[in-house]
Amino acid sequence: MTAGPLPEGISEVLFTREQIAQRIGELAKSIDDDYADQDLLLVGVLKGAVMVMADLSRAMVSDPPVDWMAVSSYGTGTRSSGVVRILKDLDCDITGRHVLVVEDIVDSGLTLSWLLRNLGSRGAASVEVCTMFRKPGGARVQVPVKYVGFDLPPAFVVGYGLDHAERYRSLPFVGVLADKG
Ligand code: IMP
C-alpha cells in the first residue's frame, strides 16, 4: 500500500507498487515463454522506460541483453507530431535478432510507430512492443503492441518512470497528476 499523504500535485494513486510488481512478473513470464530459445534483445526508450526495463529484465529468467535508444519527438506544445530525431542510437547490430521494444507509455503512438519503422528497416527478425501503460483513447495511429501492463483512463499520469517536467519519475507507484486533465 502507499501509506501517508500523497506527494504534492498527485490527486489519486492508480497503480500501487505491489500491483506494478505483480504485473511485471506476469509480463516477464509471458515474454520468457514466447521467446524461449530465441535471440531476444530488449530495447528500452530513454528515459521513461528505465524503471520498467530494470524490473522487467530482472524478473525474466532468460537474462536477455538490453540496449537503449533516446529519441526526441518534435511537436507543438504537448502534442507529439511523429517527427522524430535520434539522440542516442543502439550500440548493437539487430540484424536477424528478435527485438522487443520496452516502453513506459503509449499515447498517440506516433513516436513508437516511427521507431518500429526505423528498427524494422535494419533487418531484425522481428520487432514487437511491450508497454507498461497504454492510453487507448489517445491512439492516433494503430501500433501493434504485443504486451500491455495496464490500460489507463484518459488522465495525465506520473510515477514509475513517467514524468512531468522531469518530476515524479522515481515515485514507486503511478498516480494522476492533478489539474493536467
Ligand atoms: P506518443 O505515443 O508519441 O504520443 O508519445 C508518448 C510519450 O508521451 C511518452 O513516451 C511520454 O513521454 C509522453 N506521455 C504521454 N502521456 C503521458 C502521461 O500521461 N504521463 C507522462 N508522460 C506521458
CATH of the domain at 128: 3.40.50.2020
Ramachandran sector of residue 125 (left: φ over 0; alpha: ψ -120 to 50; beta: rest) = alpha
CA of 105 to the centre of ligand 1 (A): 6
Residue nearest to atom 9 of ligand 1 (CA): 105
In whole angstroms, give the CA distance from residue 69 to residue 88. Answer: 5
CB atoms within 10 A of CB 2: 17
Residue nearest to atom 20 of ligand 1 (CA): 157
Over residues 8-16, the mean pLDDT reads 95
Give first-to-last CA distance, the chain, whole Å.
25
Which residues form ligand 1's pocket by a CB distance below 6 Å? 48, 73, 80, 104-112, 156-158, 162
- Establish if 1 belongs to a structural domain: no
- Establish if 54 belongs to a structural domain: yes
- Average pLDDT over the chain reads 91
Residue nearest to atom 21 of ligand 1 (CA): 162
- Establish if 38 belongs to a structural domain: yes
- Establish if 2 belongs to a structural domain: no
CA of 162 to the centre of ligand 1 (A): 8
The range of the structural domain enclosing residue 50 comes to 10-177
Write out the catalytic residue numbers: 107
Does the pLDDT at position 180 exceed 80? no
- Establish if 42 belongs to a structural domain: yes
> What residue spans of the chain are helical by DSSP H?
17-34, 50-59, 110-120
Q: What is the pTM of this model?
A: 0.92
In whole angstroms, give the CA distance from residue 29 to residue 40. Answer: 14
Q: Ligand 1 pocket check: which of 107, 116, 163, 164 to mutate, most ligand atoms within 8 Å of Cβ?
A: 107
CA of 107 to the centre of ligand 1 (A): 5
- Establish if 108 belongs to a structural domain: yes
pLDDT at 137 (0 to 100): 66
CA of 168 to the centre of ligand 1 (A): 14
> In the chain, what percentage of residues exceed pLDDT 90?
77
Over residues 131-158, the mean pLDDT reads 87
In whole angstroms, give the CA distance from residue 39 to residue 138. Answer: 33
Over residues 46-75, the mean pLDDT reads 93
Number of domains in the chain: 1
Determine the 3-state secondary structure of 138 from DSSP.
helix
- Establish if 82 belongs to a structural domain: yes
- Establish if 126 belongs to a structural domain: yes
Does the pLDDT at position 3 exceed 90? no
Scan for cell 537503449, then name that residue.
68
